[in-house]
Amino acid sequence: MKFSAQPAEGGKVCPDLSTFNNSRYIIRQIMRLSLITAIITFATVQLISATPGNGQGTSRVEVMVELHNESVFSAIKKIEQQTDFRFVYRDKDLAGLKDFNLPLGKRSVRELLDLLFDAKDFRITELNNKILISPAEKNPAGTAQDIRVMGIVMDESGDPIPGVTVRVKNNNSLSTATDQNGHFNITIPETGSRSLLFSYIGYKTQEIDLGSQTSVRVVLSPLAGSLNEVVVIGYGTSTRKDLTGSIARVNSKTIQDQPVGNVINALQGRMAGVEVSQSNGLPGSGTSIKIRGQYSINSGVEPLYVIDGVPFNFSLSVYQTGSNGTVNPLNSLNPGDIESIDVLKDGDATAIYGARGGNGVILITTKKGKAGKTKLDLNLSSGIGKVGNKIDMLNGEQYLALRKEAFANDKVTPTTANAPDLTTWSQTKFRNWQDDLLGGTARYTDAQGTLSGGNEDTHFAFSTGYHHEGTVFPGSFAEDRISARLNIDHTSKDRRFYALISAAYSYDKNNLPTRDLSSYYNLPPNYDPYTSTGAFNFSPLIQYNPYALLAQKYKAATANLIGNMSLRYRILPGLSLKANLGYTSLNFDQNAQFPSSTLNPSYFAAVSNAVFGATSARSYIAEPQLEYIKDLGKGKLTALLGSTFQSNTSITNTTTGNNYSNDALLGSMAAAGTLSARTAYDNYNFSSVFGRITYNWQGKYILNATMRRDGSSRFGLNNEFGNFGAIGAAWVFSEEPFVKDQFSFLSFGKLRGSYGVTGNDQIPNYQNLSTYTASGSTSGYQGITVQNPSRLANPDIKWESNKKAELALELGFLKDRIQFTAAAYRNTVGNQLLYISTPGQVGFTSYLGNFPATIQAQGLEFELNTKNIERNDFRWSTSFNFTINKSKISKFDNLASLSFYANQFMVGYPVPFSRQYIFNGIDPNTGIVTYQTANPNGIPSYLVDQQPTPIGNPYYGGLSNNFTYKRFELGFFFQFKHQNGYINGVAGSLGSMNNQNTTTLDHWKQPKDNTQFGAPTANSSNPAYNAYSFYYNSSTAFYGDASWLKLKNVNLAYNFPKRWITAAKLANLRVYAQAQNVFTISKYKNVFDPEMGAGQGGPGMPALRTIVFGLNASF
C-alpha cells in the first residue's frame, strides 16, 4: 500500500522473534509491529466506518493544473499541493500509465481524475479527504469491453467551448456534452462505430474518426457569418459578437466561386460601404477601392493592405505602363491562396494603424495547414470570355448618309483633305470595328494544387498555381502567372511558443498591345487599315490605326516575393511577446516597341523607338509587440503595446532607345543608335508606437481604446510625428436577464459606437524638402550641367486628419437565423493637402501644404443575412447589403478668391466635382443645339453658364442567394448601383468623321423637326458645329439616371458521393460551372459596361462575360 504518497513497498520481511536473544532488539521489533498494526487497524476502521463518497467533494474543489509530458504521479502531487486530498494507491498499479499533456486550466478534481484514469481500468473511491485508486474488475475473457474516450473541444483561438454535443455516429443513444472547460468523456462499445460527431450552434459540425485513439483534441471552426466566427482585427483577432468596430468579411468560398485573376475584384458589391472599381477589363488591370467614400482632394484614397499581419508596400514609381492601365502588385496574389479578407472601416477598427488607416484597412489572410493526414487538393478550371454588350452603331450606309448630310448643312464640298471617307475610300465595303477589335474570345485557364497537413503542433500548406487570361483582341495577347506559397506554423509542446513563416513568390508575364483597342470601336466603317500593298494605312484625320497598334509590342514581367514571419512567446501566464516581420521584393521590367511602320507620320516622327523600364522595390518592416490577457473581476482584460519600423525603397530606370537599324532589334537596348535615360529614386521611412486596451465584462459590456503615434519621412520636420487614437464601446443587451425573459425571439442584440482620429500619408515623397533637378548641356549654363531648384521646402506640412464617428445596431433573431446590422457614420477630413499658390517673385508657382478645407462623408449601411430554409436535404440562405453615401466639401476658406480651385470645387458638393451647361433643346428652325446663357448671343461661357452637376441620391449594394440540395450547390449574386450620370452622347460633333450610335438617327433634318439630336455638321464654319463640339457632351442634354443592375455571378456545383470515388482513392470530388458578369440592366445603354462607363469616351475595355468549368479533387 501507499499512503499519502509515502512508499510502503520494498521493506524487509520481519524476522522470527524466537531467533533473537537480544531483548532490546526484540522490544524494537515489537514496537514496529505495533505501529504497523495500528496503521492497518486505523485504515480498516476508516474503510469500514466510512460511507462511500458521492463525488461532491472532488466535484466542488477546483485546481489549476498544467501537464507537459508528465506522469500520473506528478499530477497527483500537484493535486495534493493545492488541496487537502490525499491519495491511496499502489505504485505498480499506476506505473504503466503513459505521460499526459493537459493545457493550463481550472478544473474540478473530479474532472481531472476522469481525464487521468480510464473507468474500465481503474476504480476511484472517495473517503472523506482520501481518494483510493484501485484496479477495476476485469471482464471475463472473450467478452466485449466498452472503450472510454476523453478529450477537449476548443475554438480556433484555443479557448474551450462548453456545451458542445458529442455523440457516436449512427448511434444517437450514446452522447454527452463538454463541461465548462471544454472537456468531455464518453464510453463507446468496442464494436460498432468509431466516429464521433461534434456539433454546436454557430460552428461547423465535425466528424472525428477515432481509430485507436482514446484521447482527442478537437478544434471547431465557426460557420461563415456566425457570431462566433473569428475575424481578423488590427494586430489580433476577435469574434463578431465581441467587436466594437465595423468590420466586413469575405471568405474563401465567396472568392473561389468567382473566376477572377485579381482577388480584390472578388469584393465587388459584397460589402456595405466598400466600392471596388477596375481601371479596365484587361488582364492584370489595376483596381481601386473606396471605403465609405472619398475623403481627400489631392492625396491618395487607397486603403492600407495587410497580408498575414504585415503591411504590404503598394505604391510604386512607374513611368511606362501598358494598355491594362496601372501597375497593381496585388495581381501577384493567387486568389486560391486566400482564406479571408476583412475590411476595417470605422475609427475604432482603423485607428490602431494611425496615419495609414485614414482610408480604411484591408486585412488579407492566407490559408494555413491543419492537423490531420497529409492531403492534396487540386482545382482545375477552363473557360472563355466575351464582351457582354456591344453598342448599336450606324451601319456603313447610315454613316455615309449622315456625313453627306453634315457637309450639305455646312455648305462645304467634301475633299480628299477634309473627307477621305466620302471621296477616296470605298463606298460599298464596310467594317464592323466592334467585331474586328472586340469580337474575339478570351481564353481562361486556372490550375492550382495545395499540399497540406500536420500534427497537433506543426501545420504546413504548400500551394502552387498557374493562371492564364487572354484578351478579345486579334492575336495572342495574354497574361500568364505562376505562383507558389508556403505557410508553416509550429506550436511548442508546452504551448508557450508559436511561429508562422509564410513565403510567396509569383512571376507574371504580360503580353498586351501598347494601347487599349476598345477606344477605336467608332472609327469610320469604311476605313481600311491597310493599303493595297499591305502596308498600314494612315490618315491625317485618324491618329491611330488600331491594326498598327497591334503590331506594337508591349511586354512586361513582374517578379514578386513576399516573406512574412509571426512569432509569439508566452513569458508568463497571460503575458506574451509577439513580433511581425515582413520583407517584400518586387522587380518590374517592361519593354514597349514602336516600329516606324506603325507610326502615323502626320503625328509622329517615322523613327523606330523602344522604351525600357526597370523598377526594383524593396520593403522591410518589423513590429514587436507585448500582449497581456487576464481575467479581471467578472471580465477579461486584453492589453497590447507595440511599435513599427518600416522602410520602403524603389528605383525606376527608364530608357528610350532610337535609331534602330532593324525593327527586329527593338527588344534590345544595346542595339539602339541613341539612348536617353532618367532615374527615379524613392525612399520612405516610417516608425510608430501603438497600444490597445480592451475590457470585456461578462460578454455584455465591452470597451476598447487604441492609440498610436506615427512618424513619417514624408512630412516636415515641424510635424513629422502625429497622434491618433479611438475609443469604441459595445453593449450586448441580449445578455441582460430582462431581454432574455421578455424577448425570447431575440437571440442576439448589440449596440455599439465609436469615435476615432486617423490620418493619411499618401502623398509623394520629398514634398517637405527642397529638391533639385539636373539640367544637361542644352539647358545648362554655358554647356555645363547644373542643378536647378525644382521644389520649395515646406517644413510645416502635416497629416490630413480623419475624424470618424459611428453608431451601429446589430440584431439576431430565431437563434441567429436572421442577422441584421444598421450603421450610421460620419467621417470628417481636415488639413487637406493642396498646392498653395505663391507670389511670382518666389520663383515657384506653388508648394504643397495644408489648407483649411474639410470634406465630410456620411452615410447609412445595412446588412441582412438570413437562413431561410435549413433541412437535411435543402438549405437556402440570403445575404443583402445596402449603402447610402454622400460626400461633400463642407468647408473651404476663401475659395472664391482662389481662381484655380474655385473652378474645380464647390462647397456642398463632392470630390470630384463637375459643372454642366444647361441644355435648352434643339432650335426647330435651324437644328442648332441651344443652351441657357447669360450672354444674349446664345454662346455659353465657361463657368459663367455652367451649373453644378446634380448629385442625386446615390446608393449601391448587392444581393446573393445560395441553395444546397442534396449534393448540388447553386448560388447567384446581383450587384446594383443607383447614380446620376451621362447616359448618351456623341463622338465629336454629329457628322464628324466618327461613327455614332443608332440613337443619332433621330436628328434634325428640316425646319419644325422635333428631335433628340440637332443638325449634323462637320466643319467649324457652321455655328452648329461649336454647339456640338464644345458644349453638348458637357451639358444636361444626356444627363440622367445612369443606374444599373448586374447579375454579377452564377455558380453551380455537384459533389460526388464518397462511395463513387473511393475506388479512385479520392477523398472528395466536385465539379462546377461559374459565370461572371452575366448580364446588365440599365438605362445607360450606349456603353459596353455601365459599371465602368466603358465606351462613349469611358475608361475602355469592359469586364468580360466569363464562363468557366472546373473540378476540385482531394486525395
- Contact yes or no for 151/145 (Cβ under 8 A): no
pLDDT band at 725 (very low <50, low <70, confident <90, very high): very high
| Lowest-confidence segment of 221-230, 823-832, 1091-1100 by average pLDDT | 1091-1100
Query: CB burial class (10 A; 0-12, 13-18, 19+) of residue 953?
Result: exposed
242: Cβ–Cβ under 8 A, 6 or more apart, which residues? 696, 699, 702, 730
Which pLDDT score, from 0 to 100, does residue 49 have? Answer: 38
Q: Does position 45 have pLDDT exceeding 80, yes or no?
A: no
Distance CA 487, CA 935 (A): 70
Work out the average pLDDT over 429-457.
Answer: 93
Beta strands, E only, 923-993: 929-931, 946-948, 955-965, 968-978, 980-982
Residue with more model confidence, 1082 or 139:
1082
pLDDT band at 317 (very low <50, low <70, confident <90, very high): low
Which pLDDT score, from 0 to 100, does residue 40 have? Answer: 41
Q: What is the DSSP string of 721-748?
A: EEEEEEEEEEE-GGGSHHHHHH-TTEEE
Q: What is the DSSP string of 483-511?
A: EEEEEEEEE-TTS-EEEEEEEEEEEEEEE
Which pLDDT score, from 0 to 100, does residue 1016 have? Answer: 94
What's the DSSP call for residue 794? -
Query: CB burial class (10 A; 0-12, 13-18, 19+) of residue 172?
Result: exposed
Query: CB burial class (10 A; 0-12, 13-18, 19+) of residue 531?
Result: exposed
Distance CA 769, CA 797 (A): 10
Joined grid coordinates for residue 1051 = 455558380
How many residues are given for the chain? 1115
Query: CB burial class (10 A; 0-12, 13-18, 19+) of residue 152?
Result: buried
Architecture of domain 17-135: 3-Layer(bab) Sandwich (3.55)
Q: What is the DSSP string of 988-1033?
A: SSTTSSS--BGGGGSB--STT---SB-----STTSHHHHIIIIIGG
What kind and span of H or E run contains 347? Answer: helix 347-350
- Contact yes or no for 272/292 (Cβ under 8 A): no
For 225-247, what is each residue's pLDDT tens digit?
A: 677 777 888 898 888 889 999 99
pLDDT band at 25 (very low <50, low <70, confident <90, very high): very low
| Lowest-confidence segment of 124-128, 159-163, 785-789 by average pLDDT | 785-789
Which pLDDT score, from 0 to 100, does residue 775 have? Answer: 64
For 195-224, what is each residue's pLDDT tens digit?
A: 888 888 777 888 888 877 777 888 888 776
pLDDT band at 140 (very low <50, low <70, confident <90, very high): low
Joined grid coordinates for residue 1002 = 433621330
- In degrees, to the nearest 5, what angle opens at C-alpha 1088 toward C-alphas 1086 and 1093? 85
Work out the average pLDDT over 436-446.
Answer: 95
Is 146-219 a CATH 2.60.40.1120 domain?
yes
For 565-617, what is each residue's pLDDT tens digit?
A: 999 999 998 999 999 999 999 999 999 999 999 999 999 988 999 999 999 99
Distance CA 1043, CA 1081 (A): 9
| Lowest-confidence segment of 424-428, 718-722, 865-869 by average pLDDT | 718-722
Distance CA 739, CA 745 (A): 10
What kind and span of H or E run contains 1062? Answer: none
170-174, 941-945, 993-997, range with greatest mean pLDDT: 993-997
916 bridge partner residues: 947
Work out the average pLDDT over 507-516.
Answer: 90
Q: Does position 910 have pLDDT exceeding 70, yes or no?
A: yes
What kind and span of H or E run contains 945? Answer: none
Which pLDDT score, from 0 to 100, does residue 97 have? Answer: 85
Work out the average pLDDT over 374-396.
Answer: 94
Joined grid coordinates for residue 949 = 452637376
Which pLDDT score, from 0 to 100, does residue 884 have? Answer: 95
> How many C-beta atoms surround the C-beta of residue 20 within 10 A?
12
Give the closest residue to 652 by CA, choosing from 680, 688, 622.
680
The ranges assigned to domains in the chain are: 17-135, 146-219, 396-429+915-948+984-1037
Work out the average pLDDT over 686-703.
Answer: 94
pLDDT band at 1097 (very low <50, low <70, confident <90, very high): very low
Give the closest residue to 446 by CA, choosing from 463, 462, 469.
469
pLDDT band at 8 (very low <50, low <70, confident <90, very high): very low
For 638-648, what is each residue's pLDDT tens digit?
A: 999 999 999 99
Average pLDDT, the chain: 86
Distance CA 866, CA 857 (A): 30
Distance CA 553, CA 536 (A): 16
pLDDT band at 109 (very low <50, low <70, confident <90, very high): confident
- Contact yes or no for 618/649 (Cβ under 8 A): yes
For 1015-1071, what is each residue's pLDDT tens digit?
A: 999 998 888 888 887 788 888 888 888 899 999 999 999 999 888 888 888 889 999
Distance CA 154, CA 902 (A): 61
For 66-97, what is each residue's pLDDT tens digit?
A: 887 888 898 999 999 888 888 888 888 888 88
> How many C-beta atoms surround the C-beta of residue 925 within 10 A?
11
pLDDT band at 168 (very low <50, low <70, confident <90, very high): confident
Which pLDDT score, from 0 to 100, does residue 43 have? Answer: 42
pLDDT band at 14 (very low <50, low <70, confident <90, very high): very low
Work out the average pLDDT over 306-311.
Answer: 86
788: Cβ–Cβ under 8 A, 6 or more apart, which residues? 772, 773, 774, 775
Centroid of chain to Cα 1007: 59
- Contact yes or no for 585/287 (Cβ under 8 A): no
**Distances, alpha carbon 147 to alpha carbons 121, 480, 497, 505, in Å:** 10, 56, 34, 49
Joined grid coordinates for residue 269 = 458589391
Joined grid coordinates for residue 802 = 480623419
Which pLDDT score, from 0 to 100, does residue 145 have? Answer: 62
Which pLDDT score, from 0 to 100, does residue 299 have? Answer: 81
Which pLDDT score, from 0 to 100, does residue 348 have? Answer: 94
For 630-681, what is each residue's pLDDT tens digit?
A: 988 889 999 999 999 999 999 999 999 998 989 999 999 999 999 998 888 8
Helix axes 109-116, 72-82, angle to 10 degrees: 170
Joined grid coordinates for residue 112 = 481531472
What percent of the chain stands above pLDDT 90? 48
For 766-806, what is each residue's pLDDT tens digit?
A: 888 888 877 654 555 565 677 788 888 888 888 888 999 99
Residue with more model confidence, 990 or 179:
990
Give the closest residue to 1112 by CA, choosing from 449, 204, 335, 251.
449
Give the closest residue to 732 by CA, choosing from 703, 702, 755, 754.
702
Give the closest residue to 625 by CA, choosing from 691, 695, 704, 693.
691
User: Which pairing describes strands 442-454 and 372-386: parallel, antiparallel, or unpaired?
Assistant: antiparallel
| Lowest-confidence segment of 229-243, 323-337, 708-722 by average pLDDT | 323-337
Can you tell me which residue has the cell 467578472? 634
Work out the average pLDDT over 254-279.
Answer: 91
What's the DSSP call for residue 716? -
- In degrees, to the nearest 5, what angle opens at C-alpha 452 toward C-alphas 450 and 458? 150
pLDDT band at 174 (very low <50, low <70, confident <90, very high): confident
Distance CA 808, CA 94 (A): 58
Q: HSE-up of 479 (CA within 13 Å, CB side)?
A: 24
106: Cβ–Cβ under 8 A, 6 or more apart, which residues? 62, 63, 64, 181
Q: Does position 974 have pLDDT exceeding 90, yes or no?
A: yes
Give the closest residue to 449 by CA, choosing from 424, 404, 484, 473.
484
Q: What is the DSSP string of 35-97?
A: HHHHHHHHHHHHHHHSPPP-SHHHHH-EEEEEEEEE-HHHHHHHHHHHSS-EEE--HHHHTTP
Residue with more model confidence, 306 or 31:
306
Give the closest residue to 966 by CA, choosing from 881, 887, 1054.
1054
Distance CA 700, CA 577 (A): 29
Q: Does position 21 have pLDDT exceeding 70, yes or no?
A: no
Q: HSE-up of 24 (CA within 13 Å, CB side)?
A: 0
- What 3-state DSSP class applies to 350? helix
Work out the average pLDDT over 1093-1108.
Answer: 73
- Contact yes or no for 1046/1080 (Cβ under 8 A): yes
Backbone φ and ψ for 663, nearest 5 degrees, come out as -65, -20
31: Cβ–Cβ under 8 A, 6 or more apart, which residues? none
- What 3-state DSSP class applies to 520? helix
> Residue 437: what residue type?
L
Convert 368-377 to b/e letters by CB count within 10 Å (16 or more is b): bbeeeeeeeb
For 388-411, what is each residue's pLDDT tens digit?
A: 999 999 999 999 999 999 999 999
Which pLDDT score, from 0 to 100, does residue 759 have? Answer: 87
Q: Does position 1008 have pLDDT exceeding 70, yes or no?
A: yes
For 356-368, what is each residue's pLDDT tens digit?
A: 888 999 999 999 8
| Lowest-confidence segment of 282-291, 462-471, 873-882, 954-963 by average pLDDT | 282-291
